[in-house]
Amino acid sequence: QSLSTFSSHMKTIVEILSEAGPGSLTLMDELGAGTDPVEGAALATAIIERLREQGALVASTSDYAELKTYALQTEGVENASCEFDVATLKPTYKLIFGIPGKSNAFAISQRLGLDADIIEKAKAGIDSQSLAFEDVIRALEEKRQQMESQLQQARRDREKAEEEKRRAEQAYQAVEQDRKSLIEQARDQAQEIIQQARRAAEESMEELRRLRRE
């Protein structure tokens, strides 16, 4: 329609705003993209706020740090991110709630062979506040992965303990069954001995009576 990327994007947003209301689910990819990043982030935040005021549910993807901060600071809004393996440059398709996604532009560029000097100059051009924010996200992600690893280990330990408990219970049941069987055998043997002794005594008494009669 001879529109710029941003114009086309905003034209669709205007239509969404005119129709969205209670019960609406609004999905927006890279909200505020295609224009100055500062203005785009401010517009994206204001648009999400308006949609929330209209009662719509909103799922919006973004690389803007301002939107990530907005989600951290605003009740009823939550960050989420898709886990990404920088080593393989592949997504894991694991959705993580509560933690904003970290920009991996530098790591990906380095892995793809971009000169290290270029990356260092690019890092130097980022303001300290943005770098600190990315560091916080990285620390959160590392902590999450560490806790998830510990949780998985705890689950494995619990499953192992439950398996050992099950085996111990089976062993106990087997020993208990053997004990009952041995007691039953001993009781039967004792009963047989008593009966044999009784028969022998009766035979002896009968022999004594016979001798006395003779």
Q: Which two tokens stand for residue 13?
A: 């947003």
Are residues 44 and 71 in contact, defined by beta-carbon separation less than 8 angstroms? Answer: no
Residue (of 136, 9, 109) closest to 62 by Cα position: 9
Q: Can you list the positions of beta strands (E) in 86-152?
A: 90-97
Q: Which two tokens stand for residue 156?
A: 């494995």
Q: Where are the alpha helices (DSSP H) in 20-91?
A: 37-53, 65-73
What pLDDT does 55 receive? 95
Distance CA 81, CA 96 (A): 5
Distance CA 63, CA 110 (A): 19
Distance CA 45, CA 41 (A): 6
Q: How many Cα atoms are found within 13 Å in the side-chain-facing hemisphere of 83? A: 14
- pLDDT value at 145 more than 80: no
Report helix, strand or coil for 195: helix
What pLDDT does 91 receive? 84
**CA angle in degrees (0–180, nearest 5) for 73-76-82:** 80
Per mean pLDDT, which of 13-17, 136-140, 143-147, 208-212 is the most reliable? 13-17
Nearby residues of 3 by Cβ (< 8 Å), 6 or more positions away: 11
More confident residue, 71 or 127: 71
Distance CA 57, CA 24 (A): 6
Whole-structure pTM value? 0.58
What pLDDT does 203 receive? 84
- pLDDT value at 182 more than 60: yes
Q: Kindly state the average pLDDT of the residues 69-90.
A: 86
Distance CA 140, CA 146 (A): 10
What confidence category does residue 92 fall into, taking pLDDT thresholds of 50, 70 and 90? Answer: confident
More confident residue, 102 or 109: 109
What pLDDT does 210 receive? 83
Q: What are the beta bridge partners of residue 91?
A: 84
